C-alpha cells in the first residue's frame, strides 16, 4: 500500500530538531518505550512536523499522532487550539492520542496499554 504524503511547513524542521534535543521527562520516558519499533514492530518518530504543527510522536503506518501535554494544555485557549489541530489532522485520516505529562510519568503501564489498544484495533480493522 502506498504511503499518503502529509505536507508540512518546512520552517518547522529547525524547531522540531530543537524540541528533540530539549525533550520533557514524560516525552523522554515514552520515547524509551516507542523507539526502535518496540511497540508491535511499528516505527515511531518524535517531534515530527505535520501540516503547521509538530507532533510529539508520529507513526505513519498507523496514522497515529501521540501528544504528551504539559500543564499549559489545561487553559481554554490552548484547548481550543488543540481541538482545531485535531480537526486538521483528522482531514488526513490521522488519530490523535493525548496523555498528560503526569500520566506518562506516573502511569506508564496504562499509557502503553492505551497505545497498544489502538494498535490492536487498527490491525484488526486494516487486515
Q: Which domains does the chain have, with CATH numbers?
A: 26-125 (3.40.960.10)
What is the pLDDT, as a whole number, of residue 63? 95
Question: Residue 79: what pLDDT?
Answer: 74
CA distance readout (Å), 106 to 3, 22, 26, 121: 35, 21, 9, 25
Specify the 3-state DSSP secondary structure of 100: strand
Low-confidence ranges of the chain (pLDDT < 70): 1-3, 71-76, 78
Global pTM?
0.90
What pLDDT score was predicted for residue 47? 96
The predicted structure's pLDDT at residue 70: 82
Residue 19 CA to residue 32 CA, distance in Å, equals: 16
Place of cell 514492530: 41
Q: What pLDDT, on the 0 to 100 scale, is given for residue 81? A: 83
Query: How big is the chain, counted in residues?
Result: 127
Q: What is the number of alpha carbons within 13 Å of residue 116 lying toward its C-beta?
A: 11
Q: Look at residue 2 in the predicted model and tell me its pLDDT.
A: 56
Neighbours of 5 (CB within 10 A): 8
Q: How many helices (H) and strands (E) does the chain have?
A: 5, 4
d(CA 5, CA 123): 21
Amino acid at each position: 500500500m502506498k504511503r499518503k504524503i502529509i505536507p508540512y511547513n518546512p520552517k518547522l524542521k529547525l524547531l522540531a530538531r530543537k524540541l528533540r534535543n530539549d525533550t520533557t521527562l514524560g516525552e523522554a520516558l515514552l520515547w524509551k518505550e516507542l523507539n526502535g519499533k518496540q511497540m508491535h514492530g511499528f516505527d515511531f518518530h518524535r517531534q515530527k512536523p505535520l501540516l503547521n504543527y509538530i507532533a510529539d510522536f508520529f507513526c505513519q503506518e498507523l496514522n497515529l499522532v501521540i501528544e504528551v501535554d504539559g500543564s499549559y494544555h489545561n487553559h481554554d485557549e490552548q484547548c481550543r487550539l488543540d481541538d482545531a489541530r485535531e480537526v486538521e489532522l483528522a482531514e488526513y485520516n490521522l488519530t490523535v492520542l493525548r496523555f498528560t505529562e503526569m500520566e506518562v510519568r506516573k502511569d506508564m503501564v496504562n499509557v502503553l496499554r492505551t497505545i497498544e489498544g489502538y494498535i490492536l484495533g487498527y490491525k484488526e480493522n486494516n487486515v
